[in-house]
Structure 1
């Protein structure tokens, strides 16, 4: 979700709680770089050593990486389509030679007995329908007999995140007939809908000829919502900080919330990250006083963006005395934690794991992977006898990049286990979490977050007493070890040719020349950009960083910046450093997935800075490797008139033959989520929140909706816009991108 240039309903994604005074890169390493010194430092050598190496993350997993994997047999070296032009039209525009089809949209029924979606605000039973704001997504193949298959290209399950809902003034207004209630208390009937549209879908799909369809009556179809019982696993299981009225022993919780990025494990399960969950909770202005302002819980609540007295996103806590509503009030209201929900917010913010094929197995929250605003999870290629390694990011301004290294060593037999969630217990419940520190010489260090590496919290009133504390208050641990504050780390992926890990840094309106978020080598840009004559400041357009490691479990790495997002006509000495053109300019890179069949890096945008010129988009890239470019020096004037110079290693310029626009979405949408059939001939992406800038006051006047997609593409009833999954195929039946 874009937080640098917030849309009206993004106010509760403006989480901005990192005020720690970590030293900046220029204070850690002052040496300036040249192209020669960068190459000699080993960046290029590390990239070369990995060439032909390791596997992909999420949808992108090599054949040897584990179950459900595809083979990178003939990676593309060129992109075989003409760039798509920018567009402000209310449609999906795709490259010539391709076609799109709407497959599965908000409200679509998941059982044979659920009525068709009316799309007029009167629909109910959302626990049996597609949720809202389709986001990250993964493919799980099925053979003709409905058994799991790693090779099937015609039938599959899609596991799809439902991140949030289009809202204004508390209400999810497209869900309700009259736009809903914008004042407290909220009616229970409205809140019940909103509780159910969040979470995850599993839906069966099948190709019939050149057309795809989802199967409304499939026994595989499943919804996980905010109310689904889940199990707590890992170091936080049983912690005093997870004790609630619902789970007095701190081992269970309810639901998953604000699910954004995804991943696919080497043992063929689905993992999903809980992102901007803190804004859903409420505690009154006197809660700090009741707990004690130096209480560790209060310090944790503040660090995770839940100040006492701040309004909640939807006011769910106001809907009545029922447990499903009261749980969203996380104030200390009773005599102890077993009698209220003061710890309820601590049960969110994790990676959740589920078996897409088996609805009888409970979802598991993997607390060992830390608690923060999770996006995707990217797994390095598993190597027998070596640990499992997963990369992650915390999507808030000035937050950190993370890595998890399992205690258990990979056994290739686990890729085909009949009990894959038990395999998840083995590799994800015990291990070591690290936060990234980027140095100015193109090297970096993964900083250990564990009781084995004594952590002294930056706040003297907070003490880490166990690994459970680190798992629950991960941000405070990363503050304490002086990790590098990044420009909103979102999605990641692993390059199948080189093994380099890529992560999108979407933007950061707080990035300045000096101060707590002063420019540094890994986040080197701050500038002013104009949108319709209005100034936008900071790192407005974002960038993509990449990391190389000969062994993913190592603590040392090399790095460079793969791509600086920018408008084509921006200053090439300070902003458009990647020399983007009209064919590949972009802003706010968000989703990032490597194709398992072609190796193409697909980049998706969630932009608010360039949307006066184009809707959000999907671009294709032929990536290189860490060290394939040169060093760039940026010079800034400080307030006192002195000069600040920032050197950063960067990849080669992105010409239109190796980076080009493939698709542009409808009005006000975000392009997100991507996976493919194993042969690379069908691609699935999500169109999230089209028409979200429609004023709530205009809910009764369809002529004033800013988007009518996908109804204007011939899909479904009504005129209200809907998030949806689409499938893209080549008209000649060929491989996508070729």
Structure 2
């Protein structure tokens, strides 16, 4: 999730998230042609447990061969949605279809350790290392055996939830809001602790799902937790800091947004907009050698300009190292950065692997998977004898879609390893990182980010020292190769029935129709228009976002070519046909797709929104869909009008949804994002997160509860709290059917 202006900062200096730091001249693509169906693969689970994905029931292949071979869909996939669509709503509550119940499970401040009192939710609560953090986001379910001693991928009665706490809605963390800079150390410590992740046990008793406060599995991982740097960049000169002079460890993870799982049953948490937590002195460019110095080029490419204010002012909490580490200025006299934190931001922006079952296992930042604003990590169906492929988005305007392919080939025995983190070492520490380039003929190329590539070795903008440097500066390497700029790639997910790969492109208000500089419209990002909010034209560009769909040639994880189409275009149902390209009705219309996952139990796609464009009409939402397959639609000409300019652009679009293949399932409370989704293996409990309800509350209103933007989930005059919600069907059936 990308919050361009964090108005929750309140008394801190204004901070602008750098959403568009890609100033490269990389092209976008112009025209496309009809794409053919790719080979269909085995069933895999995107929502649910990884081991179930490996050992679940597989479909029987139909006759055929080559790239056009089609494998029958798994028998569990439903062909139509079995609930009545929920209407749009601005109410401060959660609305679900008739026959369903949504229950609040785990709120910000809820205790997870024995003896910790229930949260007062008045701004005085502390000990957040023993309580739920704030701003719940990506979430995954890991089954526990009946004895509670270890994994059971099929268990729906007992399991662990691993979830992100992306950032903080900090007006409500303190009795009267946060103190302006310089920040008191106690406030900084509290904010550091509300970031990170929760691992918390849940159980189902009859039809009731609850979390287990005193479980030995429960733990908080925060922005101060020690973590191991692993893979090719570990120990490199770019990773060395005063804290870790050998560049092998770091402290903390923050701004964790999307999540993923691995086939061996671990959690991947994705560091997104970490850059805003740091500051640099106004003269830091000069201290580093000027505007063309390598470190200065890197810092600016990742959005940290000299003199930039940090998001929360944590560096002002005191002189102790815990606070100094948030200042990325070159202040020491060493030549290698071991006496300051000039390299600290290189310790962030990674996928982080966690074993949810082993609290003492090392937490590892997997540097082979590249450094950028990570949004989720979805893997293609594991096939014995072939490598693994993980798909990742870089959530900023004009950034890229990436793929990581392991050097190691998949062995089915690794689905149930004795040491899950060691298995991660095998598959995630060595491999190839690619960026996507979309061609005009309906195909795409995976461009290898490797130091040996002529375009990387000879890149005039930045001189790469080695392969570790390529991974640390993956954005610059992708610039050098000419990867395709996209409209804020958010979550990735893989359809278990088809192995099609989906990326939500949440929006891009910078899209234009004329000129020579990015971002002009193109075939993959074909819309730029004027959008009204109320009676004013308040937004311009690709305001409502879209979802792009890809398939590997031959369903091969190591393929260097793919095909694509646009699955859905977000739009208001009342918008002109040139905007509402998918023909959405009032029961389906949405804006700014963000989270997206497929449920293994049903094969349904679930789409969540993080929207600011349509919020005069409805709160953010969750939709369910029967997704079809890439190539099931046709060529389309988009007739754009933005400001006074017009431009027609050709693209290819998936089959339009019907009333039974796309429906709104849930609408969230006021001023909240709907995010994070997973299920129990039997599909009878669906977990989602509600993030930052009441986020638009004015700072001055903290003294007047009647002026809070939301009171969810506690109601009355309570302060709003982010929370995990569990959804069940009243008849005990599978969700969505």
Q: TM-score, normalised by structure 1?
A: 0.93
- The C-alpha deviation readout for 1:151-194, integer Å capped at 9, x for no partner, is 1111110000000011xxxxx2210111121x211111111110
| Distance in 2 between residues matched to 1:445 and 1:3, nearest whole Å | 30
The DSSP-based 3-state class of the residue aligned with 1:699 is helix
Deviation of 1:433 (Å): 0.3
Q: Quick one: which of 510, 535, 541 aligns to 1:538?
A: 541
Q: Name the structure 1 match of 2:491.
A: 491
Q: Name the structure 1 match of 2:64.
A: none
- The C-alpha deviation readout for 1:117-155, integer Å capped at 9, x for no partner, is 111111111111100000000001112100210111111
Q: What are structure 2's unaligned runs of at least 5 residues?
A: 60-72
- The C-alpha deviation readout for 1:277-325, integer Å capped at 9, x for no partner, is 1011001100000111222111100000000001110000011001111
Q: Name the structure 2 match of 1:624.
A: 628
Q: Name the structure 1 match of 2:119.
A: 117
| Distance in 1 between residues matched to 2:119 and 2:512, nearest whole Å | 48
Q: What are structure 1's unaligned runs of at least 5 residues?
A: 27-31, 167-171
Q: Contact 2:444/2:562 (CA < 8 Å) preserved in 1?
A: yes
Q: Quick one: which of 324, 335, 352 aligns to 2:333?
A: 335
Q: Name the structure 2 match of 1:724.
A: 723
| Distance in 2 between residues matched to 1:553 and 1:533, nearest whole Å | 50
Q: Contact 2:494/2:501 (CA < 8 Å) preserved in 1?
A: yes
| Distance in 2 between residues matched to 1:4 and 1:541, nearest whole Å | 16
Residues 637 and 689 from structure 1, CA distance in 2 versus in 1: closer, same or farther, beyond 3 angstroms? closer
The DSSP-based 3-state class of the residue aligned with 1:376 is strand
| Distance in 2 between residues matched to 1:561 and 1:311, nearest whole Å | 38
| Distance in 1 between residues matched to 2:574 and 2:644, nearest whole Å | 30
Deviation of 1:14 (Å): 4.3
Q: Contact 2:50/2:265 (CA < 8 Å) preserved in 1?
A: no
* In the alignment, structure 1 residue 55 sits paired with structure 2 residue 55: no
- The C-alpha deviation readout for 1:431-457, integer Å capped at 9, x for no partner, is 000000112221111111012323437
Q: Name the structure 2 match of 1:21.
A: 25
| Distance in 1 between residues matched to 2:647 and 2:17, nearest whole Å | 32
Residues 69 and 248 from structure 1, CA distance in 2 versus in 1: closer, same or farther, beyond 3 angstroms? farther
Q: Name the structure 2 match of 1:180.
A: 178
- The C-alpha deviation readout for 1:188-228, integer Å capped at 9, x for no partner, is 11111100000010000111221111111111001110110
Q: Name the structure 2 match of 1:667.
A: 670
Residues 677 and 286 from structure 1, CA distance in 2 versus in 1: closer, same or farther, beyond 3 angstroms? same
Q: Quick one: which of 628, 634, 639 aligns to 2:638?
A: 634
The DSSP-based 3-state class of the residue aligned with 2:478 is helix
The DSSP-based 3-state class of the residue aligned with 1:450 is coil
Q: Quick one: which of 613, 620, 630 aligns to 2:617?
A: 613
| Distance in 1 between residues matched to 2:599 and 2:141, nearest whole Å | 12
Deviation of 1:365 (Å): 0.1
Deviation of 1:44 (Å): 2.5
| Distance in 2 between residues matched to 1:470 and 1:446, nearest whole Å | 16
Q: Name the structure 1 match of 2:571.
A: 566
Q: Name the structure 2 match of 1:29.
A: none
| Distance in 2 between residues matched to 1:533 and 1:457, nearest whole Å | 52
Residues 577 and 677 from structure 1, CA distance in 2 versus in 1: closer, same or farther, beyond 3 angstroms? same
| Distance in 2 between residues matched to 1:724 and 1:349, nearest whole Å | 25
* In the alignment, structure 1 residue 129 sits paired with structure 2 residue 131: yes
Q: Contact 1:691/1:706 (CA < 8 Å) preserved in 2?
A: yes
Deviation of 1:64 (Å): 4.8
Q: Quick one: which of 601, 611, 623 aligns to 2:605?
A: 601
Q: Contact 1:131/1:201 (CA < 8 Å) preserved in 2?
A: yes
Residues 66 and 229 from structure 1, CA distance in 2 versus in 1: closer, same or farther, beyond 3 angstroms? farther
Q: Name the structure 2 match of 1:646.
A: 649
Residues 328 and 306 from structure 1, CA distance in 2 versus in 1: closer, same or farther, beyond 3 angstroms? same
| Distance in 2 between residues matched to 1:234 and 1:68, nearest whole Å | 34
Residue correspondences, number = 711
Residues 663 and 358 from structure 1, CA distance in 2 versus in 1: closer, same or farther, beyond 3 angstroms? same
Q: Contact 1:543/1:563 (CA < 8 Å) preserved in 2?
A: yes
Q: Contact 1:449/1:455 (CA < 8 Å) preserved in 2?
A: no
Residues 457 and 299 from structure 1, CA distance in 2 versus in 1: closer, same or farther, beyond 3 angstroms? farther
Q: Name the structure 2 match of 1:308.
A: 306
| Distance in 2 between residues matched to 1:363 and 1:638, nearest whole Å | 47
Q: Name the structure 2 match of 1:88.
A: 90
Q: Quick one: which of 530, 555, 567 aligns to 2:560?
A: 555
| Distance in 2 between residues matched to 1:131 and 1:571, nearest whole Å | 42
Q: Contact 1:58/1:377 (CA < 8 Å) preserved in 2?
A: no
The DSSP-based 3-state class of the residue aligned with 1:212 is strand
1:399-414 alignment to 2 at 5 Å?
Answer: 399-414=399-414
Q: Name the structure 2 match of 1:390.
A: 390
1:698-737 alignment to 2 at 5 Å?
Answer: 698-712=701-715, 719-737=718-736
Q: Quick one: which of 278, 291, 302 aligns to 2:275?
A: 278
Deviation of 1:480 (Å): 0.5
| Distance in 1 between residues matched to 2:129 and 2:643, nearest whole Å | 55
| Distance in 2 between residues matched to 1:605 and 1:636, nearest whole Å | 24
1:257-268 alignment to 2 at 5 Å?
Answer: 257-268=254-265
Q: Quick one: which of 30, 39, 45 aligns to 2:37?
A: 45
Q: Contact 2:529/2:643 (CA < 8 Å) preserved in 1?
A: no
The DSSP-based 3-state class of the residue aligned with 2:164 is strand
Deviation of 1:634 (Å): 2.2
Q: Name the structure 2 match of 1:292.
A: 289
* In the alignment, structure 1 residue 321 sits paired with structure 2 residue 326: no
- The C-alpha deviation readout for 1:15-65, integer Å capped at 9, x for no partner, is 321111112212xxxxx55xxx51xxxx2232xx31x63424353758453
Deviation of 1:513 (Å): 1.4
| Distance in 1 between residues matched to 2:3 and 2:721, nearest whole Å | 22
Deviation of 1:73 (Å): 4.3
| Distance in 1 between residues matched to 2:55 and 2:5, nearest whole Å | 39
The DSSP-based 3-state class of the residue aligned with 1:712 is coil
| Distance in 2 between residues matched to 1:350 and 1:502, nearest whole Å | 21
Q: Quick one: which of 232, 236, 248 aligns to 1:251?
A: 248
* In the alignment, structure 1 residue 216 sits paired with structure 2 residue 213: yes
Residues 67 and 199 from structure 1, CA distance in 2 versus in 1: closer, same or farther, beyond 3 angstroms? farther
Q: Quick one: which of 233, 237, 246 aligns to 2:234?
A: 237
The DSSP-based 3-state class of the residue aligned with 1:339 is coil
Q: Name the structure 2 match of 1:169.
A: none
- The C-alpha deviation readout for 1:679-721, integer Å capped at 9, x for no partner, is 00000000000011111111121111110001029xxxx7110
Deviation of 1:466 (Å): 1.2
Q: TM-score, normalised by structure 2?
A: 0.93
The DSSP-based 3-state class of the residue aligned with 1:262 is strand
RMSD, aligned α-carbons: 2.1
Q: Contact 2:671/2:710 (CA < 8 Å) preserved in 1?
A: yes
